[in-house]
Amino acid sequence: MKHFLLINPWIYDTAAYDFWLKPLGLLYVGGILKKEGFQVSLLDLMNRYDNYFVKNDKIKDRYYGTGKFHYEKVENPPVLKDIPRRFKRYGLPKEELKKRLENYSDIDGIIVTSVMTYWYYGVYETIKEIRKIFPEKPIFLGGIYVNIMPAHAKKIFEELNVHIINGTGTFAINKMLKYYNLQIDNFNWFEEIDPAYELYNSQLPHVVITSSIGCPFRCTYCVTPRMWKYQTRSVKKIISGLETILSEKPVKDVVFFDDAFLLHPQKEELLNELSRFNVRYHLPNGIHAKLVTPKIARLFAKANFKIIKLGYETSDEELQKKTGGKVSNEDLKNAANYLLNEGLTDVSAYIMANLPEQKVDDVKKAIDFCLENNIIPSVNEFTPIPNTPQYMELVEKGWIDINTDPLLLNNSILPYWWKYGMSVEEIEGIKKYLQKKKEEYNLLGRH
């Protein structure tokens, strides 16, 4: 049977931090291929617990298994040569990658994943190194970037002879297997398959799982509902999958990466079942504040949830409606009160900065509103995501060229050139304001 090597590529960026990053989609691909009898190996270049880092004492943990990635400074890509921010390569050192690849001379194909559109450069540099070792091996590239920008991916990776595979689940895998004149039956992979964490031969202090894919909401800035049809997984399968992981690895933290965790129809049953395990749970993706009730808060506390992030985005009511209308200031306040009343103190809210037409004062008001209600404010800078309604509106207005290089859309780069948003100085002012306010409320280091 064919042997496939799965690779999670480097990140090239001005900054990157490990908030429980795991290549979940790639691990599902591994799980599906293993079920169908294929041999599968994994090389996760972003695994901070890789044996290389353990051996060299380079693991830098902070709270709940998050931490800093190892990095090396690199030259900026040509399109960013005039931007005064230095690029870095995050992840496993280049020489170590070469050594690892040389151990896989028997593989029949290499599957590489991609995430953020503005991280495509790291994918490119990774595949460039792979091609030095395996000039003729078939390489398949899938993932979020490929699904959002397939034409861009085909153009960029053509010179490296890469097969671009858009789509998800068994559909995408069959597109890849067509190269070998093979095919698998279509089945409900999300219900039946667990992400293949057994492929890691290193420490695994935390795992990322999900009780649903997709999202029924259609926020204008988000691509999720356009990539996956909303689907939930049964509580029975979620729990059995978690039992398997916990029996194989000494996991301390379990992180749910759902985009709509509280929409699960069996959420109360799920939370009750989760309380059986001696681990900490986290919800970093921004749950819907409107759906937090006193009972849900009690169940979160009972199950030992720690980091809970609420989706907020903005305090401006007009902007709230314009971006999707899923939360109001009152919703946020009520949700925080319910959670805090149950002793859940690591409650924060995502606030967007640099949204189109957003004012600096709006961000400051949102920060103040959070702090006044004992919520930790977490400011995220806006990234325009190609092919979302908001992005296409910006294109129609002439505020962004449809052919803009995704590297320029990175939220840390955008303020240096985009004249329709906040300036670098305004963004820095917001960061200083947030720092000052956190000092006042004794919240430094809290996210």
Instruction: Enter the CATH code of domain 3-180.
Output: 3.40.50.280
Where does CATH 3.20.20.70 sit in the chain? 205-440
Residue the block writes with tokens 């490296």:
160
Q: Please, which residues have CB within 8 angstroms of residue 220's CB and are 6 or more apart in sequence?
A: 322, 323, 324, 388, 389, 390, 393
Amino acid at 291: L
Compute the Cα dihedral for 167, 171, 177, 178 and give only its sign.
negative
User: What tens-digit pLDDT sequence spans the chain (447 residues)?
Assistant: 899 999 999 999 999 999 999 999 999 999 999 999 999 999 999 999 999 998 887 787 888 999 999 999 999 999 999 999 999 999 999 999 999 999 999 999 999 999 999 999 999 999 999 999 999 999 999 999 999 999 999 999 999 999 999 999 999 999 999 999 999 999 999 999 999 999 999 999 999 999 999 998 888 888 888 888 999 999 999 999 999 999 999 999 999 999 999 999 999 999 999 999 999 999 999 999 999 999 999 999 999 999 999 988 777 777 766 666 678 899 999 999 999 999 999 999 999 999 888 899 999 999 999 999 999 999 999 999 999 999 999 999 999 999 999 999 999 999 999 999 999 999 999 999 999 999 988 876 666
d(CA 270, CA 159): 47
Beta strands 162-164 and 71-73: pairing type?
A: unpaired
Reference 410, options 354, 364, 361; nearest CA is 354
- The whole-angstrom distance between residue 56's C-alpha and the CA centroid of its chain comes to 27
What per-residue confidence (pLDDT) applies to 381? 95
What per-residue confidence (pLDDT) applies to 324? 61
Write the pLDDT tens digit of every residue in 15-43. 999 999 999 999 999 999 999 999 999 99
What per-residue confidence (pLDDT) applies to 111? 99
d(CA 263, CA 256): 13
Structure-token pair, residue 268: 């109360």
What per-residue confidence (pLDDT) applies to 325? 63
What per-residue confidence (pLDDT) applies to 56? 85
Beta strands 162-164 and 139-141: pairing type?
A: parallel
Where does CATH 3.40.50.280 sit in the chain? 3-180
Mapping DSSP onto H, E and C, the string for the chain reads CCEEEEEECCEEECCCEECCCCCHHHHHHHHHHHHCCCEEEEEECCCCCCHHHHHCCCCEECHHHCEECCEEECCCCHHHCCCCCCCEEECCCHHHHHHHHCCCCCCCEEEECCCCHHHHHHHHHHHHHHHHHCCCCCEEECCHHHHHCHHHHHHHHHHHCEEECCCCHHHHHHHHHHHHCCCCCCCCHHHHCCCCHHHCCCCCCEEEECCEECCCCCCCCCCHHHHCCCEECCHHHHHHHHHHHHHHCCCCEEEECCCCHHHCCCHHHHHHHHCCCCCEEEEEEEECHHHCCHHHHHHHHHHCEEEEEEEEECCCHHHHHHCCCCCCHHHHHHHHHHHHHCCCCCEEEEEEECCCCCCHHHHHHHHHHHHHCCCEEEEEECCCCCCCHHHHHHHHHCCCCCCCCHHHHCCCCHHHCCCCCCCHHHHHHHHHHHHHHHHHCCCCCCC
Classified by CATH at the fold level, domain 205-440 comes out as: TIM Barrel (3.20.20)
φ, ψ of residue 74 in degrees (nearest 5): -135, 170
What per-residue confidence (pLDDT) applies to 295? 98
Determine contact, residues 323/390, Cβ cutoff 8 Å: yes
Reference 242, options 269, 274, 272; nearest CA is 274
- The whole-angstrom distance between residue 290's C-alpha and the CA centroid of its chain comes to 23
